[in-house]
Amino acid sequence: MWAVVHRSSLAVLSVIVVMLGACAGDGTTTPPTGAGTAPATDSPTSTATATTAPSSGSTETPATATSAPVAPTAVATSTSCEAVGSVDEVVHEFPLRLTSEIGADIRTGSHECFERIVVELQAGFAPTPDGLPGYWVRYADGPLTLGQTDDQFVELDGDADLLITVNAWMQTFDENTQLVGYDGPTDFRPTGLQAIQQLYMLDNSEGVHTWAVGLDRERPFRVLTLDDPTRIVVDVSVG
**Are residues 21 and 124 both part of a single domain?**
no
What is the H or E stretch that residue 31 is in?
helix 2-79
Cβ neighbours for 234, distance < 8 A, ≥ 6 positions apart: 116, 117, 118, 119, 137, 162, 164, 213, 221, 222, 223
Q: Is residue 48 part of a domain?
A: yes
Which of 61, 80, 99 marks a domain boundary? Answer: 80
In total, how many domains does the chain have? 2
How far apart are alpha carbons 187 and 197 in whole angstroms? 11
Alpha-carbon dihedral angle through residues 124, 129, 130, 132, given to the nearest 10 degrees: -120
Between 193 and 8, where is the model more confident? Answer: 193
pTM: 0.67
**Are residues 111 and 173 both part of a single domain?**
yes
Helix (H, G, I), strand (E, B), or coil: what is residue 69?
helix
What is the H or E stretch that residue 217 is in?
none
**Are residues 98 and 67 both part of a single domain?**
no
Is the pLDDT at 222 greater than 50, yes or no?
A: yes
Report DSSP state, residue 86.
B
Per the CB < 8 A criterion, the answer to whether 84 and 235 are in contact is yes
**Are residues 62 and 120 both part of a single domain?**
no
Task: Summarize pLDDT for 118-167 with one digit per residue, the tens.
Answer: 999 999 888 788 899 999 999 999 999 998 888 899 999 999 999 999 99
